Amino acid sequence: MADSYTRLLDDRTLLLLQMQIYAACSDPEIRDATRAAYKRLWEMIERITGLPFQTVVDFFAVGMLMNVAAAMDLPSVDERWTSWCPKDADGCED
């Protein structure tokens, strides 16, 4: 799943759209719709993988870190604090 998500991060338009959705959550309607969609995604990941709850938490946490890193194009930054992010990929992976 993580590899597939890394490939999705190559589409900058989809990445930035996702980030804008989160940023727009001050609007109650957008927040409710975003929460509902995120819940469906979470439950699908739990159901398909059968992974323990904390592993699913970690998966989503790393996914958000990948989003932020891809939005800032961290793979192009050659500094210690970005060393976790592979420099040969458009998106970051763990």
Q: What is the DSSP string of 10-34?
A: T-HHHHHHHHHHHHTTTSHHHHHHH
What confidence score (pLDDT) does residue 66 get? 87
**Are the C-beta atoms of residues 90 and 5 closer than 8 Å to each other?**
no
Percent of the chain with pLDDT over 90: 50
Q: How would you label 13-45 residue by residue, b for 16+ Cβ within 10 Å and e otherwise?
A: eebeebeeeeeeeeeeeeeeebeeeeeeeeeeb
Alpha-carbon distances of 29 from 14, 24, 25, 93, rounded to whole Å: 21, 10, 8, 32
Residue 4 binned pLDDT confidence (cut-offs 50, 70, 90): confident
What confidence score (pLDDT) does residue 2 get? 66
Range with the poorest average pLDDT among 41-50, 51-60, 69-78:
69-78
The encoded tokens of residue 10 equal: 């190559």
Domain boundaries, the chain: 2-82
Average pLDDT, rounded, for the chain: 87
What confidence score (pLDDT) does residue 10 get? 77
- The 10s digit of each residue's pLDDT in 47-62 is 999 999 999 999 999 8
